[in-house]
Each structure stands twice: as C-alpha cells, then as structure tokens.
Structure 1
Amino acid sequence: MDFSKVVVIGIFTIQVLITLCTVQSVSSAQSNLFREYIGAEFKNVKFSDVPIHSNVDFHFILSFTIDYDTSSSPSPTDGNFNVFWDTDNLTPDDVSSIKSQHPNVKVALSLGGDSIGDGQYVYFNPSSVDSWVSNAVSSLTNIIQQYNLDGIDIDYEHFQADPDTFSDCIGRLISTLKKNGVISFASIAPFDDDDVQSHYQALWNSHGKDIDFVNFQFYAYDQGTTVDQFMDYFATQRSNYEGGKILASFISDGSGGLAPQDGFFTACTRLRSRGHLGGIFVWSADDSKAEDFQYEKESQALLAIPH
C-alpha cells in the first residue's frame, strides 16, 4: 500500500469536512427573516398596513402579553398572562386573515416589555419557579390558541429575580410549549445592559438549544452609532450568544442606534456578505406607519436577494 497516497487522501477528506462544516455554520447563521413588533403603542396600525415581501420569512410580533393584571394600577400575577396590545386592530380574526393571505407570514407574541400603564416598569417577579411556569404555560397556551399564534418572544427588561431563576422559568416555559406543540419557535430580545445581559446569558447558556432567534436591541446603543461601531457591537453579541441567529435591528423613530438613513443597510450588507446576518427586525410598526413603512420595504428587499 502506498501510504503517501493514503495521507494525501486523508488530508483532502479533512479539508472537505472542514469546508462543509464552515458552509453549514454560515448557512445556519444567515436567513431571510424579517420581524416586526406591532401593537404596543395603540396607533391603530393593522397587519394589513405593513408591506410584506413574498420572498422573505415574515414574523409579526404582538406586543405585549404581560403577567400583570388589567386594573388601573397593574400588579404582577405570577405567570398569569393578559393581553396588553391593541386588541381593537389586532384580533384573532386579523391574525387568521393575514396568515391566509400571506403563506410566508407567522405571528408571535412578546412577553414582558419595558413598562405598563403610565410608565410603570414591568418586572419579572415569580413567587417560585414551579408556580410561575405552571401559570405561564396555562395562560399563554390559552392566548396562543385563541389567536392562532406560532411562537413567543421574551422581552423582560427589569428583574426582581436572579439570573438562575429567570433562566429556569423561561427555559422551562419555552421547552414545555414546544414539547406540547403549542409553539414552533422562540426568541429573546436582550440589549446591552449588565443586569439584562446577566439574565439572558444565563438563559442562553442553559437553554440556548431551544431559542431560535436573538432579537438583539441594537437600537438601545447610543443615537448616532456609526457603521463600524455597529459591526463591532454585532461581533460582540455573536460571541455572547454563540451559535445563535442574531438579527440586526433599528428603531423607527430614530431615537437610538444606527439609523437606516445613516448606514444601517450598509452594515447589513457587510454582515450578509460574511454569512452573519440572521435577519432584520424593527421596533416598531406603530411608529413606521407615519413614514409609510419606507425602511421595512428596504429591509425586505435586501433580505429577498438570493444568497
């Protein structure tokens, strides 16, 4: 046997395997996913107002469902969720209608958010892991089935529980809803704050396999962020949520981060060329309506270009 040939064949096989793994890794990180939060600001926006490109995967994210009561002075309910989005314009029938008109559309709901009522913070505040998970699974299953929804998004931003408790509660919630066939995907929506990151990275480290998308709030960085800064921020979050599909994001009112008119799409094009763009999401349709969804159209046009 000519061992030199064996060595050459072996080296070639290893190189092929490395190439295939690299291609698979790039492919898994990149997608044509576009996501839009909707309904939190009660500006009468409807699903049908938002332009939908047929060649993207499109997720509406209803904002928000919160485990607080609906009284004039809301208080935590230990995982018993109630709907707090614009139910006059975003009804179960509206969900069914937009999904039947656009086969590429899925609809999710987001948990938590920043505040409720007159600026009162929404806190993640379980009495115990078991009670919160039991109540959350039951109440969210009812809402998801009533609205014919497909997934959930986790957007708690204030905490009265330690990272391990948050990780246990949210991780068990996601895995149970998936196991029960109630949802097909889940996402998280962290931003660059030490307390927020400690909670979400604990969740990612213990339950990342059940989390499909990372809606990182890049618009929470300073207004006037440059393209180069954005690229650095994105690289940092790819490291923090290693292996995840990280979405680029902007805020419609231009109050933070890298604005569309200042180079957001330049950054997205660079990320896409590197195979790193997990998609784009926008906060939010409520504000974008005033500008006729100009940047939603541009985002989807970019994502629809074949890889």
Structure 2
Amino acid sequence: MDLLKLFISLFILQALCISPRSMQAAAQNSKLFREYIGAQFNNVKFSDVPINPDVEFHFILAFAIDYSSPSTSSNFPTNGKFNIFWDEQYLTPAHVSSIKSRHSNVKVGLSLGGATVGGKPVYFKPSSVDSWVSNAVTSLTKIIKQFHLDGIDVDYEQFSADPDSFTHCIGRLITTLKNNGVISYASIAPYNDDQAQSHYKALWRSYGHHIDYVNFQFYSYDTSTTVTQFLKYFEEQSSNYEGGKVLVSFLSHESGGLAPNKGFFTACERLKSQHKLHGIFVWCADDSLANGFPYEKKAQSLLASAS
C-alpha cells in the first residue's frame, strides 16, 4: 500500500513538472494558412485571394505603424499612437466584414511595424514603456474595432530600444488587448538577424505563453538554401521559440530563402510526416496577384490534407 502511494505521489509530481509550454510543443500538424496583404498598394483585394474552405485562413493587414499619418511629408515615431499604412482604399472595414461573412474559416488581423515606410526604415522607438503601452492600447483598440479584426502580429524589424523595453512594451500590449477581449490571438514575426532575434527571444522568454504563433521569416535566409538546410533552420528556430507554433514561410516573388518552386513544399511534406507542420504563411498577396496565386493554392491544399 505504501509503495502504491509513493508511485501515485511520484506520478502527480511528474505531471505537475510538465509545463504548459512543453505540452504545447507536442508534435502536431495544423491547417493554418496566413497571408500578409495591403503593403504594396497595388489594388489587391481580399476577394482576389483563393480561400480553401478546409483550412484556417488568416489575412494579416500590413501595416499599422506608430508613425505620423501617411498623408504627411515626414513620418516620425508617435510613441504608440498607431495609424493605418495599408491600402485602405481596397481593404476597408466593409471588405473585412464581407470576406468574413462569406468564409466562416477566415479571420483578419493587422501587423505592427514592418521594415520600411516611404522607403525609410521603421524603428521601434518608445519614449517610455508606460506611455507607449497606454497609447498603443488606445489607438490599436480603435482600429481593431473599426475594422472588425481578430488579432495582431508584431513585425518590427529595426530597433532604437533595448530588448527589455521591447519585451515590456509588446508583452504588456498583447496581454492587455487579450484581457480586454479586443483580440483573440497574437503572433510575432522574427527573422534571421542577431539584433531582431535578441529582441524577439527576450519577448518570448517573458511572454511566450501569451503568443499564439511564431511567423518566422524563413525567407530571410539565403536564396541558396536547400531542403536539408531549411529543415535545420526550422529546428533551430523551434528551439529558440521552444513550445511555440513556428510557421514555415515563403516569398511569393521567390527572392529569398527556400523558394516555393525549389523545394519548399518538399520540406513541408517532410515536416508534415513528422507532425511538425504548424502552418504556412506567405509574404505577400500583393506580389502574388499578378501570377494568380498558384503557390497559395498549393500550400492550402497541402495543409487541408494535414492530420
């Protein structure tokens, strides 16, 4: 009897030591497909993009930036006061409502930051953590409600603040928006760069349990990337963002990383066979428009058959 009690106690202790993040890391495929849209201002619409009914589809509006209005001659940081920098003429609140009503599997979010605006780098540059968070919560809540959005993605790529400030600003923003019921999911979009990785990995260590997806920009690797190298990079980033749902990705204009016509889908099939295909995202619908979205169709078909 004493041995039985000891066994039960050890079993319970072992179960308690398994973190939620470790449980989340259990191998499993996903049918999540995500695509950025609106950054290139080439008149692309939600309705242009093929949507497979058997996947979970996320549009990501690119971008909302805490810079001054696009209509001004100069764009300067406004300390968390976000403005719309996507193609608002063709991606309106009415368009968001329409695509979501026509496709029950579609959600729409917005991405913060991006690489450039008006040909100049976008910097994460808060005046203070408290003021940035307060302004960001207020301004983004207004935009999210106006456009009937579901979540946010964080894609800052240049930084004029240390990793600790970035961590507290973004972490508090995500948790506040979630706690207020403004968003249902959040993602981050790190890439292969030492400075960016130092910021995003710091954020992940403190707030990873509040971040639903890691949109890692695998197209930031060299165009000579092979399938074997790609799979190695995937394992490295899965380790960097341990327990996270790391999505694989490609550029629709095929100018970075493992291109969709040079082995990307072979790599996806291998990850799928290992139950590690957590989803696919694409940059971007704007570039795919001219060619009729062939790779989006192929990616969604692959995901739809995932199990």
Measure the CA separation in 2 of the matches of 1:7 and 1:87: 64
Which residue pairs with 2:15 in the alignment? none
* CA deviation string 1:11-38 (max 9, x = no partner): xxxxxxxxxx9x9656565311000000
Which residue pairs with 1:286 in the alignment? 286
Which residue pairs with 2:176 in the alignment? 176
Which residue pairs with 1:14 in the alignment? none
Question: Contact (CA 8 Å) 2:46, 2:99: kept in 1 or not?
Answer: yes
Alignment of 1:213-228 (within 5 A): 213-228=213-228
Give structure 1 stretches of 5+ with no counterpart.
Answer: 11-20
Which residue pairs with 2:30 in the alignment? 31
Which residue pairs with 1:116 in the alignment? 117
Matched, 1:246 2:246: yes
Residues 91 and 200 of structure 1: is their aligned pair in 2 closer, same or farther, counting only changes over 3 Å? same
Alignment of 1:132-171 (within 5 A): 132-171=132-171
Measure the CA separation in 2 of the matches of 1:8 and 1:80: 56
Give structure 2 stretches of 5+ with no counterpart.
Answer: 10-19
Which residue pairs with 1:43 in the alignment? 42
Measure the CA separation in 2 of the matches of 1:269 and 1:100: 32
What code does the residue aligned with 1:167 have? Answer: T
Which residue pairs with 1:193 in the alignment? 193
Q: Which runs of 4+ in 1 moved over 3 A?
A: 2-10, 23-29
Describe the SS at the equivalent of 2:34. strand
Moved more, 167-176 or 253-262: 253-262
Measure the CA separation in 1 of the matches of 2:6 and 2:177: 50
Residues 4 and 195 of structure 1: is their aligned pair in 2 closer, same or farther, counting only changes over 3 Å? closer
Q: CA deviation at 1:290?
A: 1.1
Q: CA deviation at 1:291?
A: 1.1
Describe the SS at the equivalent of 1:149. coil
- Matched pairs, number: 303
Question: Contact (CA 8 Å) 1:218, 1:250: kept in 2 or not?
Answer: yes
Describe the SS at the equivalent of 1:55. coil
Question: Contact (CA 8 Å) 2:29, 2:306: kept in 1 or not?
Answer: no
Measure the CA separation in 2 of the matches of 1:29 and 1:69: 42
Q: CA deviation at 1:270?
A: 0.6
Question: Contact (CA 8 Å) 1:114, 1:121: kept in 2 or not?
Answer: yes
Question: Contact (CA 8 Å) 1:64, 1:84: kept in 2 or not?
Answer: yes
Which residue pairs with 1:58 in the alignment? 57
Moved more, 204-213 or 268-277: 268-277
Measure the CA separation in 2 of the matches of 1:212 and 1:27: 15
Which residue pairs with 1:85 in the alignment? 86
- TM score, norm. by length of structure 2: 0.92
Q: CA deviation at 1:7?
A: 12
* CA deviation string 1:60-110 (max 9, x = no partner): 000000000022110000000000000010000000000000000000000
Describe the SS at the equivalent of 1:261. coil
Which residue pairs with 1:296 in the alignment? 296
Which residue pairs with 1:208 in the alignment? 208
Measure the CA separation in 2 of the matches of 1:86 and 1:7: 64
What code does the residue aligned with 1:110 have? Answer: S
Question: Contact (CA 8 Å) 1:224, 1:259: kept in 2 or not?
Answer: no
Which residue pairs with 2:13 in the alignment? none
Q: CA deviation at 1:4?
A: 11
Identity over the aligned pairs, expressed in percent?
64
- TM score, norm. by length of structure 1: 0.92
Measure the CA separation in 2 of the matches of 1:174 and 1:69: 22
Measure the CA separation in 2 of the matches of 1:29 and 1:197: 25
What code does the residue aligned with 1:32 have? Answer: K
Measure the CA separation in 1 of the matches of 2:306 and 2:62: 31
* CA deviation string 1:91-131 (max 9, x = no partner): 000000000000000000000000011x1110000000000
Question: Contact (CA 8 Å) 1:38, 1:62: kept in 2 or not?
Answer: yes
Q: CA deviation at 1:224?
A: 2.4
Residues 132 and 5 of structure 1: is their aligned pair in 2 closer, same or farther, counting only changes over 3 Å? closer
